Chains A and B, each alone.
Chain A
């Protein structure tokens, strides 16, 4: 019995050692997972990720660690087998342990076998049987700790504190790549300077790819009609006025985008009016361009707007197959090239449109300021005017028309011209997207018959004289024999 107790003690000691290692390993794993939360927050900031993520990762790591710890608890019998394997004890210790802990199953040789196993157990080194090994989670933990320290270091270096609020990527990009993009950033910053110009104007100037100095401070509304810009619906104006655009005369597809973009710019300038309500009014309102920029307006919004406008204008130019608008009208001042024609240069119709737009914009702004209780008439006027402003510049002297007034004014020459520019098909396509309904195609009724020429063919068969004695091959082996000879044939062919 003393021998059995000794053996049990040895195995139990080894088991404690194994449990300690498992505990260490799983704790390392749990800590690694728990540190992923701070790592994510250090990278993304609490602006993008909730701070509760810390708790989620902590609980996940804890739960997984406990679950794995419980599952990997070694049994004493298993530990005894590990000892046997490590000491090459031919399963003597595990066998002795098993029959010592299960006396009912013991046989006559059990005491003798126990006597042989105990000296082995006492002579062995448990550190060799249950060696300490660094688990892979330890390396993972080290990597996570290093990454976390690096992120915190970068964060401290960029913002001089360890606040986790802003995302790290913009901070790092701003600090690391400010020099190469300094000009562009300065231009953007200049465009956002209050009182030195309106943002829509800057944005649109950038959209028109004009590598020019910043626009005049007293720039005109963004979507102001150019010389002789008529009023009318967007599609009609786009159809009629595309050849005469100076950079902002776009088709309806992009005119809306420009209008929206300009509206957003105007919104930022005014800081009050919403885009929906003042989509056209703010564009036509000269005063909107001189509005005060909103304090603390997010720069990402303007950047996003900038990129969107840029893409839209690229697409427009590629579809129009036109050069950049800077060369559209030689001799025209840059102000005009940028589509910011002054009201004085516009036709009376354009002035009227601008005036109406400004009125509408003002009314819309007032309606926003008054809690959205704006009358319906100004809003309708605003929407009606918006098309004229976002559209191009129709021929001078054209009367203002309501929506769809120019639908029937297309003649064959204009259509041919548009088709030559590739615009017509796009317009059709644009319209086709909005169309729905059934299409009835009438075809001429005539009897149809598929005729295949008849070709007489003939095949000859001959007996090669081969003999197959199937009786020699059992049915169960036929597929194997077939595979075998196929393999032989392939080898002979090769």
Chain B
């Protein structure tokens, strides 16, 4: 069970209130129609799946319903940082 700090509510809340929303920092291609099927498939499905720090999105479903980013270690499950959409994770998390 995670205890997650919501950067909007500015409170630590129980994991029950949140939903996982996949890997963060995956930009949508500017011109999807110009991509090959392989490139589009890459954008849709290929993820880094790292062992260690992972930058991922969460949404505070039962609370403020806002998305934000979490830097989480996939080995220890430790949450290393929480930051808002549009921001970059703190330095130490650069995997």
Same complex for A and B? Answer no
Interface positions of A (Cβ within 8 A of B): none
Interface positions of B (Cβ within 8 A of A): none
